[in-house]
Amino acid sequence: MSDAEIIMSIEGVTKKFPMGEGKFLTACDNVTLHVRKGEFTAIVGESGCGKTTLMKSVMNIQPPTEGRIIYRGRDVTQLSGEDRRQHCRHIQMVFQDPAAAFNPKLKVKEIICEPLLNFGLVKRSEMAERAGQLLQMVELPPDFGERYPNNMSGGQRQRVAIARALALNPEIIVCDEATSALDVSVQDTIIRLLCRLQKEKGVTFIFICHDLALVSMFAHRVTVMYLGSIMEKLDGDKLQEARHPYTRALLQAVFPVEKEKTHIIQCLEGEIPSPTDMPSGCPFQTRCRSCQDKCRTEKPVLRELSDNHYAACHFPA
């Protein structure tokens, strides 16, 4: 896979939440990740592994405890006031449940054009036309603008959320579990829509998801997280070459290599440690079948195994 230009560098981002009595919950631990222009960068991991927390730092909603996020030559974690507002123009977010973010009293055309109104980029009299153009981009008829969000299916609401995210012509769209609540067939059509937007408009996507099988179908780069740390980073078309025991367990659960009747899918066993009381050493040690003494004392750092392929494991497969 050719290397597209890096447009965002997440460098050593750590986020710790104080939990009282001097304890901290480390939601992200020294996360380093590069986002390349016009690509799908997928961040995958189980619930609570720190995906949303990391994106809140990217969106400048919640500052990290440590680390930098370099975008357009500036550290976005340090932006404030008008600079922070302008940052929002370039990076937009689509959430799992857009209905929760929509004002039910507003028509779809008002919801879609709200970001444009906020930046003084559209007049009220032009709203219907502009909303119609954006609705067409997400394959909905222009007259959809006259509807209210309650009168739509989940898939249609998610298209409206994407149209709204597109309104400011952003460079990056962050999709946080944006298709997770949808039926498989609707999920499929939304993914196809995002792929079309990526190809036709050159939008860069950061796609947050817990489903490795889904992202394997379209992601250019995949980052696998576990309890706040990156376990493995590799190209999407090389997922079958994953060498971290966690990624391999996830892969085996979705793409069993042996298909004989006797084959039992190797599920992830073992206790997940509490994020407020992490063991020293490797975060994955309690569930790893390859765990050895060194894993219990020394936290593995991300090491380059081959081009664009990194894993944090003392004993990669």
Of 45 and 283, nearer to ligand ATP (C-beta) is: 45
In the complex, least distance from residue 291 CB atom to ligand SF4, rounded to whole angstroms = 4
**What is the rounded CA–CA span in Å between residue 47 and residue 257?**
25
Helices (H), ranges, the chain: 51-58, 81-90, 98-101, 108-118, 127-137, 154-166, 184-201, 212-215, 245-254, 293-297
- Contacting residues toward ligand ATP, per CB under 6 A: 17, 25, 27, 45, 47-53, 210, 275
Tell me how long the chain is.
317
Sheet holding 74-75, edge to edge: 23-36, 6-20, 66-71, 74-75
288 binds, among ligand SF4, Mg ion, ligand ATP, none (CB under 5 to 8 A by kind): ligand SF4
Least distance in angstroms from the C-beta of 299 to ligand ATP: 18
CB 310 → ligand SF4: shortest distance, Å?
13
R_g over Cα of the chain: 21
Using CB distances below 5 to 8 A depending on partner kind, what does residue 170 bind out of ligand SF4, Mg ion, ligand ATP, none? Answer: none
Q: Which is nearer to ligand SF4, 212 or 295 (CB)?
A: 295
Query: What sign does the CA torsion over 19, 98, 247, 266 have?
Result: positive
3-state secondary structure of 27: strand
> Which residues of this chain interact with ligand SF4, rule CB under 6 A?
245, 282, 284-285, 288, 290-291, 295, 300, 313-315
Q: Is 204 in the site for Mg ion (CB under 5 A)?
A: no
Nearer to ligand SF4, 23 or 294 (CB): 294
Q: How far is the CB of 1 from ligand SF4 (least distance, A)?
A: 25
Among positive and negative, which fits the CA dihedral 293, 295, 300, 306?
positive
- Residue 301 beta carbon to ligand SF4: minimum distance, rounded to whole angstroms: 10
- Which of 208, 313 has the CB closer to ligand SF4? 313
Residue 284 binding partner per list Mg ion, ligand ATP, ligand SF4, none, with a CB distance cut-off of 5 to 8 Å that depends on partner kind: ligand SF4
282 binds, among ligand ATP, Mg ion, ligand SF4, none (CB under 5 to 8 A by kind): ligand SF4
Q: In angstroms, rounded to a whole number, what is the distance separating the alpha carbons of residues 309 and 103?
A: 43
* Residue 206 C-beta: closest distance to Mg ion, Å: 13
Q: Is 285 in the site for Mg ion (CB under 5 A)?
A: no
Only one of the segments 49-57, 101-109, 145-153, 273-281 lies at the binding site for Mg ion (rule: CB under 5 A); that segment is: 49-57
CB of 21 to ligand ATP, least distance (A): 14
What is the rounded CA–CA span in Å between residue 293 and residue 286? 12
- Is residue 74 within 8 Å of 87, Cβ to Cβ? no
Residue closer to ligand ATP (CB basis): 25 or 35: 25
First and final CA of the chain: distance in angstroms? Answer: 23
∠ CA 28-286-313, rounded to 5°: 65
| 52 lies in the binding site for Mg ion (CB under 5 A) | yes
